[in-house]
C-alpha cells in the first residue's frame, strides 16, 4: 500500500524568524492521523532567518538528525560541541549530516550561522531503541558525487558505509536525481518505508512528487526512483 501526502497538507507555522512545515504532529500542530511512521516521529522543514535560531533548550530520549539544504546551521550543546576547542565545530552545511543522541538529557541550540542568508534544513526525530543512554554527537559530510543517481546511506544503527550512527532501528538514505538517473531497492516485508522529497520533482513507484511531498510504503516489494528534475530525496527504512 502506498499513501501520498502532499506538501500543502502538512502542518504550517510562521514565527517571523522561523517558517516550518511539519510532516507529523508537532508543537501547536496536532493531527491524530499524522503522528509519525514506524519510529520516525518528526520531520520539520525549517527555514531560519539570518542571525536567528532556536535558543538553548533540552531534549531526552530522541535521535535527532539535521540535514541542511541551504545555508549553514550552527550547533552548540552541553556536551561541548560547537564551542572553542571542541572536536566538533558544530556548523553544518549542505552535504553535512548531524546526529545528536539526546539520551538521558542534553541542552543545545541551533542558529543560522549567517547574518545575511536564509538557512533551510530538515529537522528529523527518530525514537531510540533504548532509553536513558549517554548523550552523543556526530557530524559527517557526504559528497554530492556519492548521492548522484543513487541512494547513499547516511544514518544507520551500525555506522555502515561511513554513515552516522543512530541508536535506533532505522536506516536513512539520501539521493540526488536528474534526467535519466534512477535507483531502486528491495523493501523488507513488515517494515514501512517513508520517502520525503526535499526539493525538485521525482517519480516514486510511478507517482510524481514535488518538493515537500511524501510517500508511506507498507508491504511493497520494492522502491523505484526515476525521472528526477533537480530532485533531492530522503528515504527512511523504519521499525515495524
Range of the domain at 10: 2-237
Reported confidence tier of residue 85, pLDDT bands at 50, 70, 90: low
pLDDT at 82 over 90: no
Alpha-carbon distance values, 73 to 27, 152, 159, 206 (Å)? 21, 22, 23, 35
- The Cβ-side half-sphere exposure at 2, using a 13 Å CA radius, reads 18
Q: pTM, whole model, 2 decimals?
A: 0.96
Question: What total number of domains does the chain contain?
Answer: 1
pLDDT at 115 over 80: yes
- Contact yes or no for 118/49 (Cβ under 8 A): yes
The CATH number that applies at residue 120 is 2.60.120.10
> Which pairing describes strands 152-156 and 91-92: parallel, antiparallel, or unpaired?
unpaired
Tens of pLDDT along 197-211? 999 999 999 999 999
- The Cβ-side half-sphere exposure at 233, using a 13 Å CA radius, reads 38
What nine digits make up the cell of 12? 504550517
Percent of the chain with pLDDT over 90: 92
Amino acid at each position: 500500500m502506498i499513501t501520498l501526502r502532499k506538501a500543502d497538507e502538512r502542518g504550517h507555522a510562521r514565527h517571523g524568524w522561523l517558517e516550518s512545515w511539519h510532516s507529523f504532529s508537532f508543537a501547536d500542530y496536532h493531527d491524530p492521523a499524522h503522528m509519525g511512521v514506524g519510529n520516525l516521529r518528526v520531520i520539520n522543514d525549517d527555514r531560519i532567518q539570518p542571525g536567528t535560531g532556536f535558543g538553548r533548550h533540552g531534549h531526552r530520549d530522541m535521535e535527532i538528525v539535521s540535514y541542511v539544504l541551504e545555508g549553514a546551521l550552527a550547533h552548540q550543546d552541553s556536551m561541548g560541541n560547537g564551542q572553542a576547542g571542541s572536536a566538533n565545530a558544530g556548523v553544518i552545511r549542505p552535504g553535512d549530516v548531524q546526529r545528536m543522541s539526546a539520551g538521558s538529557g542534553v541542552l543545545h541550540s541551533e542558529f543560522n550561522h549567517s547574518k545575511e542568508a536564509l538557512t533551510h534544513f530538515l529537522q528529523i526525530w527518530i525514537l531510540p531503541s533504548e532509553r536513558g543512554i549517554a548523550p552523543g554527537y556526530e557530524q559527517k559530510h557526504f559528497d554530492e558525487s556519492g548521492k548522484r543517481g543513487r541512494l547513499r546511506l547516511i544514518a544507520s544503527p551500525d555506522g555502515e558505509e561511513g554513515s552516522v550512527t543512530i541508536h535506533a532501528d532505522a536506516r536513512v538514505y539520501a539521493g540526488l536525481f536528474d534526467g535519466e538517473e534512477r535507483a531502486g531497492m528491495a523493501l523488507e516485508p513488515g517494515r514501512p518505508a517513508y520517502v520525503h522529497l526535499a526539493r525538485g520533482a521525482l517519480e516514486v513507484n510511478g507517482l510524481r512528487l514535488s518538493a515537500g511531498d511524501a510517500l508511506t510504503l507498507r508491504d511493497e516489494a520494492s522502491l523505484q526512483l526515476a525521472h528526477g528534475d533537480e530532485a533531492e530525496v530522503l528515504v527512511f527504512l523504519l521499525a515495524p
